[in-house]
Amino acid sequence: MTQRQVSSRKNKVRIEERPPAFVYGGKRAARALHCEQVELTTLARRHGTPLYVYSATAIRANVLGFQKAFASQSHTVCYSVKANSNLSLLRLLAGLGCGFDVVSGGELQRVLAVGPEAAAGVVYSGVGKTAAEMDLALKAGILIFNVESAAELELLATRAARLKKTARIAIRVNPDVEAKTHPYISTGLRQHKFGVPISQARELYRRAAAKQWLDPIGVSVHIGSQITDVKPFGETMERVVKLIRQLRADGLNISFVDAGGGLGIRYQNASATVRERSIRQYAQALMKPLRGSELHLLLEPGRAIVAAAGALITRALYAKENGGKQFLIVDAAMNDLIRPSLYGAHHEIVPLHPRVAGKKTVEGAMDVVGPICETGDFFARERELPPVAPGDLLAILDAGAYGMSLASNYNTRGRAAEVLVDGKKAQVIRRRESFEDVVRLEK
Ligand code: LLP
């Protein structure tokens, strides 16, 4: 499907869509943003705002995009739970044949809640696994631990021996490759806290192989997130494959390579075609160094699967001018979606019902801000928006990844409800938090 852009009459600002998830439908005057076949205004009225809405069809299409692009390579897509950990989405993904990448005991428990058999497809990464978390994963029988330090290796060997359960492991190596992304989410450089320097990995594998209850079967790597240039992925894989050759020469039986996640999306001028193409380019970059290696490839995409499949629906509350600046105050805030505040991230903001300029509307450059008591609480700054009036509903696009999973109760705001749409059907997959929910654990 190609990109469709709708320009609001009388106003040059182009309004983006995200097929197959979010598209405008209906006759010209009554044009309205839909999630698949469901009008978003209906959902906002029924469930209130702020509201997260996800498209099952878009999630399926993205998973299929990965599976098709990697068809010539034995592989498993292990969806990265941190991107969006809602149980209903995990169930949907398990049904599509996905495994899971988890980074905490909590995330593992979510996967186990989907079905204990899902443990067989779990890779467990993270620099700070506790003994209790290791025990949980050992008992569940996960596929592989991505070990991030020598000290962690020792603890895991002890726990596995105590439980008499073999821990299949990969050592997460730090390839010292520059990923060209936001510094907070770049992980593959020498000075980052992640993994073991690739130069020291061989020695660590030797130690691991000597432990009775550890089975080193793979090598893992993850260089960062929101990476749009696929070259660093290819370079990383070349370094990893070189290491695997050495490990095999050392007598180790390495059969898995975990490429991590990190494939970025376009937050502006995005389209399904571009998305599919970028997955294909990513696949080519990764698979080239793997040719003939007889390795099973594990992938840990998060954002590329769910980001464009989700939007945050919010209502404009007030418009005001301060110091010559125009502000639009909406009912969602940084506690619902922190990406703009934390990373300066760009998210397109579109009206559910595009309208023409009138007495009550504001248009042109404005700051779209939430009600939280921080200047950093914004969704857009100096953004040219089409005409919008207080009371209007807006969609903040590409919010399916790292939106709800990073949400908090800051300012004692209950977290938003979540709805999953599939064709004509819409289902609440998390109800809105009430005040009682928020204070439940307090004395
Ligand atoms: N695997 C590991 C070991 C990871 O640390 C991550 C993300 C992933 C996979 C998935 O990466 P993805 O395919 O989603 O890029 N909150 C930030 C992103 C943080 C990413 C952390 N690790 C954001 O909103 O941009």
- Are the C-beta atoms of 137 and 131 separated by less than 8 Å? no
The predicted pLDDT at position 384 comes to: 95
The closest alpha carbon to 36, from 14, 49, 17, belongs to 17
How is residue 194 annotated by DSSP? S
83 CB near ligand 1 (under 6 Å)? yes
CATH 2.40.37.10 holds for 3-55+308-439: yes
CA distances from 190 to 173, 193, 300, 343 (A): 10, 8, 21, 22
Compute the half-sphere exposure of residue 221: CA atoms within 13 Å on the CB side of its CA.
31
The predicted pLDDT at position 185 comes to: 75
Query: pLDDT tens per residue, the chain (443 residues)?
Result: 333 444 444 446 789 999 999 999 988 778 999 999 999 999 999 999 999 999 999 999 999 999 999 999 999 999 999 999 999 999 999 999 999 999 999 999 999 999 999 999 999 999 999 999 999 999 999 999 999 999 999 999 999 999 999 999 999 999 988 887 887 777 777 778 888 999 999 999 999 999 999 999 999 999 999 999 999 999 999 999 999 999 999 999 999 999 999 999 999 998 888 899 999 999 999 999 999 999 999 999 999 999 999 999 999 999 999 989 999 999 999 999 999 999 999 999 999 999 999 999 999 999 999 999 999 999 999 999 999 999 999 999 999 999 999 999 999 999 999 999 999 999 999 999 999 999 999 99
Cα separation, 244 vs 210, whole angstroms? 18
Cα separation, 2 vs 270, whole angstroms? 10
* Ligand 1 mean position, distance from CA 247 (Å): 28
Dihedral angle at the C-alpha atoms of 189, 195, 200, 203, nearest 10 degrees?
-170
The predicted pLDDT at position 187 comes to: 76
* 51-55/75-80 β-pairing: unpaired
Cα separation, 182 vs 343, whole angstroms? 7
Nearest CA to ligand 1 atom 8: 261
Q: What ranges do the domains of the chain cover?
A: 3-55+308-439, 125-299
3-state secondary structure of 118: helix
Active site residue 78: no
How is residue 117 annotated by DSSP? G
- Are the C-beta atoms of 385 and 13 separated by less than 8 Å? yes
CATH fold of the domain at 125-299: TIM Barrel (3.20.20)
3-state secondary structure of 98: coil
Compute the half-sphere exposure of residue 206: CA atoms within 13 Å on the CB side of its CA.
7
* Ligand 1 mean position, distance from CA 426 (Å): 28
The predicted pLDDT at position 8 comes to: 46
- Are the C-beta atoms of 153 and 207 separated by less than 8 Å? yes
Which amino acid would we find at residue 288?
A: K
279 CB near ligand 1 (under 6 Å)? no
55 CB near ligand 1 (under 6 Å)? no
The predicted pLDDT at position 229 comes to: 95
- Are the C-beta atoms of 314 and 393 separated by less than 8 Å? yes
Cα separation, 110 vs 267, whole angstroms? 28
DSSP letters spanning 3-70: --EEEPTT---EEE-BTTTEEEES-GGG-EEEETTEEHHHHHHHH-SSEEEEEHHHHHHHHHHHHHHT
* 296-299/256-258 β-pairing: parallel
* Ligand 1 mean position, distance from CA 260 (Å): 9
DSSP letters spanning 295-346: -EEEE--SHHHHGGGEEEEEEEEEEEEETTEEEEEES--TTT--HHHHH---
Ramachandran class of 260: left when φ > 0, alpha when ψ lies in -120 to 50, beta otherwise: left
Residues contacting 123, CB < 8 A, separation 6+: 78, 99, 100, 101, 102, 142, 143, 144, 145, 146, 170, 220, 258, 298, 300
* Ligand 1 mean position, distance from CA 213 (Å): 30
Q: Which of 80, 263, 265, 402 has most ligand 1 atoms within 8 Å of its beta carbon, as the pocket-test mutant?
A: 80
